[in-house]
Amino acid sequence: MLIFVSCQCTVVYAFQNEPTGFRGMEWGAPIEAQEGLILVDRAADRAMYRRTSDELRIGEAELQRIQYMFYKGRFAAVIIRTSGATNKAALILAFKTQFGNSMQANRYIDDHIWSGKIATLGVMCGVGNLCSALLTSAALETEQEAARRAAAERGKADF
């Protein structure tokens, strides 16, 4: 099952080391230019892949998986999953060390957002210390949002 997470933030601020991609893959890079990707799922204009060469680790956090999302054949986002209290703490610490302090609506809930002009990042941890990190291209997220809104407008005729 392909799940799409949209991280729309209206506030944009600068944060340190704002990424232009992930692990050598630049935002917007064409799928044809990538090597070692295995298709995981596809739906409409989006496709999810995993990379055979990925080390499933960020800092001290052991990861369950890393998946790369392509929108209309261009690299648009990466989703990282981990679980366990130790991995949760290590993943949050790695993100804060790399990108600085996050926006956090409630200091008691481990949902962290970094929103910039190039990328939007989020680390969301739920019950049972399950965590997902999402890094998205701001430009491609804007493009996808415009496409979703246009589809919703067309959908008005369905009522």
CATH number at 101 reads 3.40.1000
Q: Is residue 129 part of a domain?
A: yes
Q: Is residue 6 part of a domain?
A: no
Phi, psi of 13 (to 5 degrees): -140, 165
What pLDDT score does 11 carry?
A: 53
Q: Is residue 7 part of a domain?
A: no
Q: Is residue 92 part of a domain?
A: yes
What pLDDT score does 142 carry?
A: 92
Q: Is residue 14 part of a domain?
A: no
Domain that holds residue 91: 23-158
This prediction has a pTM of 0.86
What pLDDT score does 9 carry?
A: 46
What pLDDT score does 110 carry?
A: 86
Q: Is residue 29 part of a domain?
A: yes
What pLDDT score does 126 carry?
A: 84
The count of domains in the chain is 1
Q: Is residue 132 part of a domain?
A: yes
Structure tokens that stand for 70 in this block: 């392509």
* Beta-strand runs (E) in the chain: 21-22, 25-26, 37-43, 46-51, 57-58, 61-62, 65-71, 74-83, 111-115, 119-125, 130-137
What pLDDT score does 127 carry?
A: 79
What pLDDT score does 31 carry?
A: 96
Closest CA to 98 of 83, 85, 80: 80
According to DSSP H, which parts of 26-127 are helical?
85-99
Q: Report the DSSP beta bridge partners of residue 57.
A: 62
Amino acid at 90: A
Q: Is residue 18 part of a domain?
A: no
Q: pLDDT tens per residue, the chain (159 residues)?
A: 444 444 444 455 678 999 999 999 999 999 999 999 999 999 989 999 999 999 999 999 999 999 999 999 999 999 999 999 999 999 999 999 999 988 988 887 889 999 999 999 999 998 788 999 999 999 999 999 999 999 999 999 999
